A and B are shown apart, each in its own frame.
Chain A
Amino acid sequence: MSANYLVAQDLHKSFNEHKAVNGVSFTIRKREIFGLLGPNGAGKTTTIRMLSTVLEPDQGDVIIGGYSIKREAEEVRNLIGVCPQELALYVELGALDNLLFFGRMAGMSSQEAREQALAHLKLVGLEERAKGRIDKFSGGMKRRVNLAVALMGHPELLFLDEPTVGIDPQSRNNIYETIEGLRDKGMTILYTTHYMEEADRLCDRVAIMDGGQIIAMDTPHELKAQIGSPDRVTLEDVFLKQTGRSLRD
């Protein structure tokens, strides 16, 4: 079994009186795809923001690759790549220009950034559209560029926050294959999604969050086995059993 690459211990984060994350602890092993599932408002995005050093936890700490996000945030940022839920791109610019810019911000030389940008665009099937403006792209193409940007700098740990929202099956499949390929090359991935079949297919282990806490954590197979036969029960059944059926708007 691989060593833990990420160790989150007793994370807390509140906004005014609202406890968005309330005592979250988990580990992610090297080369693992770890799924973080939960209904809207469960605290997934806040957790990712703390892990990616954008938000500082009120309490607790996270060790990534041996570095603390509280004390060694800069070193942590050298190890991570983030693909946010939003299409965080400069839509007035071309795909290649976006990758080049974020590459330079990640500390790469111009030449290095260009080489990586072209390689990543090829990886997500957009090498032919490298110079196309983002605002002319389809939703699926934008999502693929969003993922490609996160890969700039060859991160060891990749945070993917709902990377397949609102795209066609072809683009979704391309993203699945890309993620599996990255894992095979040694990347560790934290993945959040609302699509349970996606988590079932990709994730080695999943944690289900609700109300700012982790309420279940295991392999998809084990979680399904807890409520029935893994061949007949879906991860969605597990999710609904754990989080209930009330709406979370």
Chain B
Amino acid sequence: MTKALQIALLQVRIYLQDRGDLGFSLLLPVVTFALMYFVFGGQTQFHATAHIVNEDPGGIYSEAFIEQLDALKELDIDLLSLDKADGKLERADLLMFVVIPEGFSDGLASGEPVELLFKQRGNGGQEQQIVAALVRSVADDISLGLQVQEQVIAALVDTDTTINQIETTVERLLADEQESPTVAVTEEAIGSSPDPVNQFLAGIITMYVLFAIILSARMLVEERHLGTLERLLTTRLSVGQLFAGKYIAGISRGFIQTVILMVLSYAVFQIFTPLSFMSSLLVALVYASAASALGLIIASVARTPDQATWMGVFFTMAMVMISGTFFPIEEGSVMEIISRFSVNTYANDAFRTLINEGGSLGDIGFEIGVLAGVIVVGLLLSRYLFKVMPGGR
């Protein structure tokens, strides 16, 4: 075992000294993470732009409507002319815009019904559907306020109360209601928020661990070509010790990379709790062990370093694609059945349970069990296939 550990240690040293390899395996996940941070701006709430065409410029209600939209922290407002908005929609530069029609304010002032127009490509996309819902809710608020005001005026029409007094009172009451709603909603957070960083972190971790294993597989094939493996077998090292050393080296490499990513997520996005961090480290170790066994299978069947790379890339992309790493898979669909054949699915599920749902190790027993099974089968198969040289030990 000591010799196996020395081999693993040597591989880790080589890994840490090879700038190109180190750059690829460590810098790239960090860059990906930085890009995520840049894209999401460190925000964990929904944020989008509402594109508005105001055909009722200067109108009291149209301006008030835009002001209320602008006050929403989820929205930025982009005011456009109708021609420009149509052009952008045509070119798919935007997916939806809202048209405030001409006479919008006059219509509302006279109690006439008015209509907002949503022009969109297809269903407008997920983000713009949320924008549309926010716009509708603001329009509903305005509509409700006006209806209340009309009803109060109708009820008080025979009293001495002036219209101004009624309007001021209704506005104040509505503002009070908004501040202290009769039906309030309380949010109870369980685990960290399901924001995009959380959603993608599991996928990034599992994908880069597989990439790390490709590099390990390639290095092993290169060693076979260079003759260092053959030379090691002329020492007092057994094939089993050599195999174990390379296996531990693969685990170390995948695990080091995962730890760096997880520490970054912890520090930058505060994704973890101390307990979920420790649990996630355990999952990372189990997953890296499974991936290392799979990497040894690739290294055993590949004849050249390039073959190892391409087999690894194909394997990684296939595992990532069918596991729903970066897109949701509908429950009960055919894709869900297919996804069960990807080792990433179980690692992703385990990470998401711990990170997004605040689960504990007890909640991911099945996933850990499957990954442990992959380790056992992968090790048996790779040990059977592993040869230092064709026709030799």
Contact = CB atoms under 8 A, between A and B. Distances in A.
Chains A and B come from one and the same complex? yes
Interface of A: 13, 15, 49, 52-56, 74, 77-78, 80-82, 84-90, 92-93, 97, 101-102, 104-107, 149, 153
Contacts of A53: 233-234, 393
B159 interface: no
Nearest to B390: A15
B41 interface: no
Q: Which 8 A-B pairs have the closest CB atoms?
A: A88-B227, A86-B227, A88-B231, A105-B235, A82-B234, A107-B236, A106-B235, A55-B392
Contacts of A80: 234
B109 interface: no
Nearest to A82: B234
A153 B7 CA distance: 18
Contact of A105 (B3, B18, B388, B391): B3
A78 B236 contact: yes
Interface in B203-226: 226
A104 B10 CA distance: 11
Given A15-B391, A90-B14, A93-B17, A104 B6 contact: yes
Contacts of B13: 93, 97
Given A84-B231, A88-B226, A106 B6 contact: no
Given A49-B392, A90-B10, A101-B10, A84 B236 contact: no
B237 interface: yes
B241 to A, nearest CB: 9
A90 B222 CA distance: 11
Given A15-B390, A90-B10, A84 B230 contact: yes
B45 interface: no
B15 to A, nearest CB: 9
Interface residues of B, number: 25
B228 A90 contact: yes
B232 interface: yes
Contacts of B393: 53-56
A150 to B, nearest CB: 8
Contacts of B230: 49, 54, 84, 88
Nearest to A153: B235
Interface string B108-127: 00000000000000000000
Given A87-B226, A101-B10, A149 B3 contact: no
A106 B6 CA distance: 12
Interface string B5-34: 011001001100110000000000000000
18 contacts: A15-B391, A54-B388, A82-B231, A84-B227, A86-B226, A87-B226, A88-B228, A90-B10, A93-B13, A93-B17, A101-B10, A102-B231, A104-B6, A105-B232, A105-B236, A106-B236, A107-B235, A153-B235
Interface in B356-393: 388-393
A77 B231 contact: no
B234 to A, nearest CB: 4
Contacts of B226: 86-89
Contact of B236 (A74, A85, A90, A101): A74
